[in-house]
Structure 1
Amino acid sequence: MASSSPLSPILLSLFLVFICGVSAQTAPAPAPSGPLNFTGILDKNGQYTYFLQLLAQTQVGSQVQTQLKTTTEGFTVFAPTDNAFNNLKPGTVNNLDPQQKVQLVLYHVIPKYYSLNDLQFVSNPVRTQAGEDFGLNVTGLNNQVNVSSGVVETQINNALYQKKPLAIYQADKVLLPEEFFEAKSPAAAPSPATKKSSTGSKSNSRASATADEPASADNSGSTGRNMGLGFVVGLALACIGFLS
């Protein structure tokens, strides 16, 4: 019986390696993941019901989603949690008019992609989608980032999504624009000097009125004396005429 060649197992192994390599080269590449879904990320993470409602009501969510397809700068979003909205005073959001609600949502969107590390070195104020007058102050130290609107300040440390062109960070407070929610200063109370001046003015008025009254009385007396003197002179002249 003919013995098998000692090279057969080696040749067979090489052949299998060759076949596997060809298969790997011709196998289709993994299908790309679905399109980036801005609101879907928030919905998947939960606890963003109120913010999602505002995104839908103001149509900001669909605008950001559309712009993500063409933007070269990207977006950074600070997403307030449901607890953040629950901690607001009643009526804080509902009392805003439609345009202010749009600006409130846009105030949480920065028209540029920032990683958490990038946020530590930004130049303030950071412009938001709400407009040039609606800026945020972002400060960072030792990998801790704080965001301030001038009315509230919150810490940012939880990234829901962080891959260019989109970064979404959890915000434990609603960023209230200073332009809408700055505390109204109480009406200034009149100073003691003003009160004293006012009192003095009233006193002066009364003094003036009192001073005028005696002056009027003096005039009446003078008139009476003049009339009496005229009567005496007239009587004297009448007597002289009678005697003559």
Structure 2
Amino acid sequence: MAKQHSLTLFLPLLLFFLHCISFAQAQAQAPAPSGPTNITKVLEKAGQFTTLIKILKATQQDDRLNSQLNNSNQGLTVFAPTDNAFANLKSGTLNTLNSQQQLQLIQFHILPALYTLSQFQTASNPLSTQAGNSGDGQYPLNVTTSGNQVNITTGVVNATVANTIYSDSQLAVYQVDQVLLPLALFGSPAAPAPAPSKPEKSVRAADSPSGSSDPSVDSSGVMSLKNKPVAVITIIYAVMAAICLLI
């Protein structure tokens, strides 16, 4: 009787234990839920994008991108320059930009639409970026393709898409070999056209107001005494002779 009572108590414990084991196994076999898309983690996993990540964080553009990706259905395309691309910039280039300009530089690398590599072949130039209107000539970004190669020009630099870092239904990140410098921040202003030189005015005898061809006549029509020393002396002698006759 005692044995039967012990068995009655043991069976519920055994069933509970087996249920816990089954639950634990089910939990272990279930795939871990994928977290929200994070542009910083994408770049960190790819490596060689330390400078880009720093600028994204400094301008808080990383938070804006993650918010757009996880709170809307709008696709995004990001051109990601490598650390070597930033190192190839002229020394002090980034330091000359204020915080707003650094934000515009990063936004110039972001297209507010998802582009696959094949879609670049039919894209209408200039492409619109988050930096500003491309139609006013300040932030033009033009893409051309040659076979599988995608080339980018900004009016300041020419770059090439070197690799696809990440791609899903909402985000595409492409590695580029140059920092994309927009005209609005790095374009050299056009030098003003030089004023036309005035031709030297040649004075001819026929241009004399008196109409005389005598170069001794000045613009007022009076004979220049400087060029006629003999005439001056003759006049002086004539005046002195007249005075002598009167005396």
TM over 0.5: yes
Q: Is this contact kept in 2: 1:157–1:169, CA < 8 A? A: yes
For 1:39 and 1:212, the matched residues in 2 are separated by 85
Matched residue type, 1:179: A
Give the deviation of 1:43 after TM superposition: 1.4
- Aligned residue for 1:39, secondary structure, equals helix
Number of aligned residue pairs: give it. Answer: 203
The TM-score, its normalising length taken from structure 2, stands at 0.68
1:178 aligns with 2:183: yes
The TM-score, its normalising length taken from structure 1, stands at 0.69
Matched residue type, 2:56: L
Give the unaligned 5+ runs of structure 1. 1-22, 240-244
Q: Identify if the C-alpha distance between structure 1 residues 215 and 182 changes in structure 2 by more than 3 Å, giving closer, same or farther.
A: farther
1:102 aligns with 2:103: yes
Instruction: Render the CA deviation track for 1:73-99: whole Å, top value 9, x for unaligned.
Output: 311000000000111111222112222
Residue in structure 1 matched with residue 154 of structure 2 by the alignment: 149
Residue in structure 1 matched with residue 141 of structure 2 by the alignment: 136
Residue in structure 1 matched with residue 11 of structure 2 by the alignment: none
For 1:36 and 1:215, the matched residues in 2 are separated by 96
Give the unaligned 5+ runs of structure 2. 1-21, 209-215
- Aligned residue for 2:96, secondary structure, equals coil
- Aligned residue for 1:138, secondary structure, equals strand
For 2:223 and 2:49, the matched residues in 1 are separated by 82
Residue in structure 2 matched with residue 166 of structure 1 by the alignment: 171
For 2:102 and 2:157, the matched residues in 1 are separated by 17
Residue in structure 1 matched with residue 93 of structure 2 by the alignment: 92
Instruction: Render the CA deviation track for 1:197-224: whole Å, top value 9, x for unaligned.
Output: 45x24x75xxx9x964974538xx89x9
1:54 aligns with 2:49: no
Query: Could you list the runs of 4 or more consecutive aligned residues of structure 1 that deviate by over 6 angstroms after TM superposition?
Result: none
Q: Is this contact kept in 2: 1:137–1:147, CA < 8 A? A: yes
1:1-244 aligned at under 5 Å gives the runs 30-133=31-134, 134-185=139-190, 194=197, 197-198=198-199, 200-201=200-201, 212=218, 215-217=223-225
- Aligned residue for 2:57, secondary structure, equals helix
- Aligned residue for 1:176, secondary structure, equals coil
- Aligned residue for 2:37, secondary structure, equals coil
For 1:188 and 1:215, the matched residues in 2 are separated by 45
Give the deviation of 1:190 after TM superposition: 6.9
**Higher helix proportion, which one?**
1
